Structure formats: C-alpha cells, structure tokens
Amino acid sequence: MIRRVLILFLALSLPVGQAGAQLTVQILKGMAESVPIAIVPLAWDGAGPAPWDVAATVQADLERSGRFRPLPRTQIVELPHAASDVDAADWRMLKVDYVLVGRLASAAGGRYDLRYELVSVASGERLLGTSVPVDARALKRASHRVSDAVYEKILGVRGAFATRIAYVAVDGPVTKRNFRLIVSDADGANEHVVFASPDPIMSPAWSPDGRSLAYVSFHSGLSAIYVQTLSTGSQVQVSARSGINGAPSFSPDGRQLALALSRRDGNVDVYVLTLATQELQRLTEDPAIDTEPAWALDGRSIYFTSDRAGAPQVYGVGLEAGARARRVTFEGGYNARPRVSPDGRTLAVVTLDRGAYRIGVVDTERGALQVLSGGQLDESPSIAPNGADILYTSRVGGRDTLAIVSSDGRVQQKIAASSGELREPAWSPFLN
Amino acid sequence: MRALPFLLILTGILMLAGCGKKAATVPDSPGTTVEQGAGAGTGPGEGQIGEGRDLPGASGSATGAGPAGVGTVIYFDFDRSDIRPEYASLIGSHAKHLAGATGVAIRVEGHTDERGSREYNIALAERRAQAVRRALMLQGAGDAQLTTVSYGEERPAAAGSDEAAYEKNRRVELVYGR
C-alpha cells in the first residue's frame, strides 16, 4: 500500500448565500496498483477562453477515487486532441497505461459539443469515442460523466462521480446548535441548503429517483418525518405520530417509507407507510428496540436493528403477514444501522470492533463480517450506487467529519469541512 | 402494559431505597443557559459543558416552575433505561407536584451519549423517557401532563468524547412549561 496525501480544494467559488462549508477531500490511502493515466487538457474551439476545464475535473475525480494515478499536468508536454494523434511510444515512456484526449467546441444555441476518446497505450486501441451535446450550465456534470465512462471502461464498474450526496451540517456550541441539511455533488462542490433549523435534523434518505429526500426534523418541538422535493423545495410532513418518528427509508419503488415509530406505548418498532394513502403496516412487534429499517433490493423484506437478543444486531423480516424475523449478524457484540449494497449481497453496518465503533460489511447469506474503517466512533454508512465505496461519519479530533472507504477496504478518503461538523451522509442513487 | 406490576414493585423498592439516603442529584435547572460564544477558544472535545438550555416557553411561563429545590435531570448507566434508586425521591417530588397541579404540563426529554448509531440512540432515549414517564404516572402525574420527546445523541449537555461527558449526556430532563 502506498501512502500519500493529496489535498484537493473542490468547493469552487460558491455563490454567496449557499452553504459554503468548503469541503476538502484527502486521500489517506490509495491502491498500490492504481492505474496510471494521462488526462490531456482538451482543445477548445470557440471564442474567448474555454468555459470549463473538463480535463481538470476528470483528473480530480479519478485521483480522488484512489484507483487512478493521473499524470500531473505539468508533465504532459504533448497535447494530442484526437486518438489518431496519440503516439503510444511517447506515452509508454511516461509510464501511463491510458490516455484521454478530447475537444470542447461551441455549438448552436449556446450549447457545446464535448468529444473525448480513451486510448490504451499498450495496444494503441481506441477504447472510448464519444461526442455529447452539453448545455452551458451542465459542463461540470458532463465532465463527471466523462470520469464515469473512463472509470467503467478501465475498472469494469460504473463510475459514481456524477452523483450527489446529502448530509447534515452542524455548527455552534452544544447549547446553541444550527442544523442544516445539505445536498452537494459527490465531490463536495455545489452545495445547497435543503432545510435549516436550530433543532436537530436527522437521517436523510434519498428517494429512488433521486428527486426527493426524506428526513427527520424536530423543528416542531417533536420529531416528525418530512419528504422534500429538491427541485421545488416543497416539504411534506408524512409522519408526526405520538412518540418517535425516525429512520425513514424509501422502498425500491418509491411508494412506501419504512420507518421507526414508538406510538403511545413507547415500544419502538418498524412500520411501513404507504405515502399516497397514509396506510400504516406494523412490521415488527417486539418489546425490544426495532429500528433503522433498510429495504432489500426486491422490496419484499426489510433489514433492521434490534436489541431483542440483548445487544443491537441486524435482523431481516419479510413483508408478508406473519413473517418471522431472522438474525443476520452474529459476529461481534454490536451491529447496527444496515445499508444494503447494490448487488444485495452485503450490508454495510456499524460494528463494535475491539472497543471502537467502525464500519463493517456483512455477507447477507453467510453472516461473515469484515471491518473496513479504523476510527473510534465511525457511524452512518451509506453505500455508493455503484457499490464501490462507502461514505460514513467519523469522529476526528472531537468533530464529526465525513470519510469514504472502498468496499474492499483498500482506499480511504477523508472529507473535511472548513468549519462545523458533518454527519449522516447519504449517497444518492444514479441520476439521469 | 404487562410491565406495570413489575414497575409498581420496582417503584416501591426504589422509594424505600430512596428513604434511607438523600438522593445524590446534580443541581440543574431547565432555565439555565450556559452560553459559550462561538470562537471562545475552547474547541469541541475540550470539555465545554452546558447544563441546560432555554426551550420555547421554558422561562417566564405561568406554568414554568417545578417543585422548589428539586433537580430536574435523571442520569442513566450506559445502554440502560432503568432508573437508578437514587432518583426515586426526585421523581416522587415531581410526581407529587404534578398531581397537585393538574394544569401544569412538562416535557420528558430523553438523551443518550454519542456512542452507537444515531437512530438506535433515539430509540434508547425514548425508552429512558418512557421509563421516567411511567414512574411519574405511577406516583400520580396525569398522562395528559406529560409529553415525551427523544433527542437521542442530538442534544448533548456536555461536549467531548470521554466518560465525564458521556455520563452527563445519558439523561432524562424534566422541562416545565412545555
């Protein structure tokens, strides 16, 4: 394993009035076998300076992933812009395996034409050749999509650079805190405050179409669950029942919300709420704590945390009437807050590992547990839609910050805010 | 409500235990706000402690006063929601006060320390708040006088990631004048 520290300042000139926490991504551990690649600055066909440095965004994305080792731009002397101009022998001497070249051109109606090609240095073969029309405001997102395509072509896994993350930012002293629910691009840039309150905001969860967030807010004085549409900001209260209203999780079809309620008797159980009709189905009925539901991929069963056997462990239960819960985690004295991987084979959990709360992955069939993170108080794992990385909260120096670990534990990244604390990250689904 | 007979017995035991010695409570009042100005030089983890905060309607309210000289915070052991014997007289005093003033309403606010997952802690804090609510009702407080709310680890009384902070955060606060 190589150890290196690369600091990329990613919050690029945020408009005043937006979140402005300035997130910094730091690679703590990259892969020894990271792929050497050259991202050649794109040619620009148009008047004035280029409207966006596509290559710089792609370079930052690939570098931040820990899976690639992009050649520093200062070492790029040849500037081919088409695959046919790439001289494999020259790039072989620079010890890169792949070269990305391209051209951005202004097109009719204030749009742009983005062309890019990926070349294998070993074979000289052109692996990607794409031309896409891009709106003026979408150049950055289009750049992330180039990163996604390169990542997928070389690693065989769809990239998740053109996705977003939601998280809760907290600042102020313990007696006077400010809570903000924020959505940003996956690289931390382009932050928007979705909701702000002096009372706690918790447990953001994406709808499967990536257009809404469900979350818990205490701004009424009691806990309630809201669903907010991101494009319009419209906020709908979906559960404000007596007792706790917590841990919302959208069903795969987006029509239902699993949640934790305590109702009048104070017994916390998992329920399923049909959003259109407000019909409520009780899924667990146990005097123990049952909470933190997460849907299985087929939408027919739900994983949840329960302390019915003493300490918190993860269980699964079918939605059909009379279904009995089965225990899923057995290793370790504490396993909680499951999140299901995109292939359904593993759950990311918070696990107690030698006195420390860490992020682990559990095999849903065999129950085998692998601890991935190394902090003392790591929590709230959220799996990237491609399954490659897990975003979570880590307490460092008395402050909650975000961190990422690859699903195999080989890459670790830290995301820090310039101020305040960041917690409860939720990675969006793939966005169209 | 099958836990009721057990709780009645437990409460009796707790009250007996409480008679022998003075309850050791940490002085606290819901009206106290310890302001720590932002940038006061004590970063998180350096032991900032706030022992209470103003809640909407908490101060100056007509129904704002609890029994004089009685603490309003009940502390708990790690991952536990059973009320320690030392709090029997504190809870008894509040229950008697509420029974004698049926127009008074309080919030029973449950909290945990920061360890473990956040929603599990919401559930654990709910369990603590419910334990206190039941104890208050068993001694005469009316159901309609009590609103429970669980904040989990979201509203710590003390900053810091050590046992000193944790034991101040595992608590239920009784807040008059909800």
Q: What is the CATH number of the domain that holds B115?
A: 3.30.1330.60
ipTM attached to this prediction: 0.90
- Shortest distance, CA A428 to any CA of chain B (angstroms): 20
Neighbouring C-beta atoms of residue A262, cutoff 10 Å: 26
Contact (CB, 8 A) for A169 and A418? no
The answer to whether residue A357 neighbours chain B at the CB level (below 8 Å) is yes
The answer to whether residue B163 neighbours chain A at the CB level (below 8 Å) is no
Query: In this structure, is residue B62 part of a structural domain?
Result: yes
Residues of A in contact with B155 (CB under 8 A): 174, 177, 200
In chain B, which residue's Cα lies nearest the Cα of A307? B120
Say whether B45 and A312 touch across the interface (CB within 8 A): no
Question: Is the pLDDT score of B14 beyond 50?
Answer: no
Question: Is the pLDDT score of A1 beyond 60?
Answer: no
- Which residues is B169 bridged to in the sheet? none
In chain B, which residue's Cα lies nearest the Cα of A266? B130
The band of B50, judged by pLDDT with boundaries at 50, 70 and 90, is very low
Contact (CB, 8 A) for A39 and A60? no
pLDDT at site A21 = 61
Question: Is the pLDDT score of B55 beyond 70?
Answer: no
Question: Is the pLDDT score of B133 beyond 50?
Answer: yes
Query: In this structure, is residue B125 part of a structural domain?
Result: yes
Burial classification of residue A201, based on how many CB atoms lie within 10 Å of its CB (0-12 exposed, 13-18 middle, 19 or more buried): buried
CA dihedral A319, A322, A327, A333 (to 10 degrees): 100
Residues 6+ apart with CB under 8 A from A87: A78, A80
**Average pLDDT rounded to a whole number, residues A382-399:** 95
Q: How many A×B Cβ pairs under 8 Å?
A: 131
Say whether B161 and A376 touch across the interface (CB within 8 A): yes
Question: Is the pLDDT score of A229 beyond 60?
Answer: yes
Query: In this structure, is residue B86 part of a structural domain?
Result: yes
Question: Is the pLDDT score of B42 beyond 80?
Answer: no
Question: Is the pLDDT score of B7 beyond 70?
Answer: no
Question: Is the pLDDT score of A86 beyond 70?
Answer: yes
The answer to whether residue A394 neighbours chain B at the CB level (below 8 Å) is no
**Average pLDDT rounded to a whole number, residues B167-171:** 97
Query: In this structure, is residue B59 part of a structural domain?
Result: yes
Of A6-15, A245-254, A290-299, B65-74, the least confident: A6-15
Residues 29-48 of B with CB under 8 A from A: 33-38, 40, 43-46, 48
Contact (CB, 8 A) for A410 and A423? no
Query: In this structure, is residue B111 part of a structural domain?
Result: yes
Three-state DSSP string of chain A = CCCCCCEEECCCCCCCCCCCCCCEEEEEECCCCCEEEEECCCEEECCCCCCCCHHHHHHHHHHHCCCEEECCHHHCCCCCCCHHHCCHHHHHHCCCCEEEEEEEEECHHHCEEEEEEEEECCCCCEEEEEEEEECHHHHHHHHHHHHHHHHHHHHCCCCCCCCEEEEEEEECCCCCCEEEEEEEECCCCCCEEEEEECCCEEEEEECCCCCEEEEEECCCCCCEEEEEECCCCCEEEEECCCCCEEEEEECCCCCEEEEEECCCCCCCEEEEEECCCCEEEECCCCCCCEEEEEECCCCCEEEEEECCCCCCEEEEEECCCCCCCEECCCCCCCEEEEEECCCCCEEEEEEEECCEEEEEEEECCCCCEEECCCCCEEEEEEECCCCCEEEEEEEECCEEEEEEEECCCCCEEEEECCCCEEEEEEECCCCC
Say whether A424 and B156 touch across the interface (CB within 8 A): no
pLDDT digit string (tens) for A339-387? 999 999 999 999 999 999 999 999 999 999 999 999 999 999 999 999 9
Closest residue to B44, CB basis, from A203, A246, A398: A398
Q: Using CA atoms, how far apart are residues B100 and B66, in angstroms rounded to an integer?
A: 11
pLDDT at site A22 = 67
What secondary structure letter does DSSP report for B62?
T
Question: Is the pLDDT score of A288 beyond 80?
Answer: yes
Residues of A in contact with B114 (CB under 8 A): 377, 395
- Which residues is A164 bridged to in the sheet? A185
Say whether A174 and B129 touch across the interface (CB within 8 A): no
Question: Is the pLDDT score of A326 beyond 70?
Answer: yes
List, as own/partner pairs, every contact residues A179-182 make where C-beta atoms lie below 8 angstroms and the sequence separation is at least 24, other chains included.
Answer: A180/A19, A181/A213, A181/A215, A182/A19, A182/A21
Question: Is the pLDDT score of A290 beyond 60?
Answer: yes
| Number of domains observed in the structure of chain B | 1
Query: What is each CA distance from B13 to A294, B64, B84, B95, in whole angstroms?
Result: 41, 31, 11, 17
The answer to whether residue A173 neighbours chain B at the CB level (below 8 Å) is yes
Looking at 1.10.1200.120, 1.10.510.10, 3.40.50.10070, 3.30.1330.10, the CATH number of the domain A34-155 comes to 3.40.50.10070
Neighbouring C-beta atoms of residue A125, cutoff 10 Å: 11
Closest residue to A398, CB basis, from B33, B38, B160: B160
The band of B64, judged by pLDDT with boundaries at 50, 70 and 90, is low
Residues of A in contact with B120 (CB under 8 A): 289, 291-292, 305, 307, 312, 336-337
pLDDT digit string (tens) for A93-133? 999 999 999 999 999 999 999 999 999 999 999 999 999 99
Query: What are the two backbone dihedrals, phi and then psi, of residue B123, each rounded to the nearest 5 degrees?
Result: -65, -40
pLDDT at site A27 = 76
The answer to whether residue B144 neighbours chain A at the CB level (below 8 Å) is no
Say whether B115 and A218 touch across the interface (CB within 8 A): no
Say whether B126 and A202 touch across the interface (CB within 8 A): no
pLDDT digit string (tens) for B102-127? 999 999 999 999 999 999 999 999 99
Report which residue type is found at A125: E
Closest residue to A291, CB basis, from B37, B44, B123: B123
The band of A28, judged by pLDDT with boundaries at 50, 70 and 90, is confident
Domain ranges of chain A: 34-155, 164-427
Share of chain A above pLDDT 70, in %: 95
Contact (CB, 8 A) for A72 and A160? no
Say whether B127 and A376 touch across the interface (CB within 8 A): no
The band of B16, judged by pLDDT with boundaries at 50, 70 and 90, is very low
Neighbouring C-beta atoms of residue A155, cutoff 10 Å: 15
CATH number of A164-427: 2.120.10.30
**Average pLDDT rounded to a whole number, residues A270-288:** 96
Task: Give the pairing type, strands A290-295 and A301-306.
Answer: antiparallel
pLDDT at site B71 = 96
Question: Is the pLDDT score of A302 beyond 50?
Answer: yes
pLDDT at site A415 = 86
Of A14-23, A96-105, A246-255, the least confident: A14-23
Query: In this structure, is residue B157 part of a structural domain?
Result: yes
The band of A13, judged by pLDDT with boundaries at 50, 70 and 90, is very low
Q: Please, what's the b/e burial string for B110-145 (b: 16 or more CB within 10 A of its CB; e: otherwise)?
A: bbbbbbbbbbbbbbbbbbbbbbbbbbbbbbbbeeeb
The band of B178, judged by pLDDT with boundaries at 50, 70 and 90, is low
Say whether B117 and A266 touch across the interface (CB within 8 A): no
**Average pLDDT rounded to a whole number, residues A55-74:** 96
Average predicted confidence (pLDDT) for chain A: 92
Residue scoring higher pLDDT (B72 or A30)? B72
pLDDT digit string (tens) for A405-415? 999 999 999 88
> What pTM was estimated for this model as a whole?
0.85
Burial classification of residue A116, based on how many CB atoms lie within 10 Å of its CB (0-12 exposed, 13-18 middle, 19 or more buried): buried
pLDDT at site B8 = 42
The answer to whether residue A197 neighbours chain B at the CB level (below 8 Å) is no
Q: Using CA atoms, how far apart are residues B52 and B27, in angstroms rounded to an integer?
A: 11
Question: Is the pLDDT score of B19 beyond 60?
Answer: no
Domain carrying residue B101: 48-176
pLDDT digit string (tens) for A122-170? 999 999 999 999 999 999 999 999 999 999 999 999 999 999 999 999 9
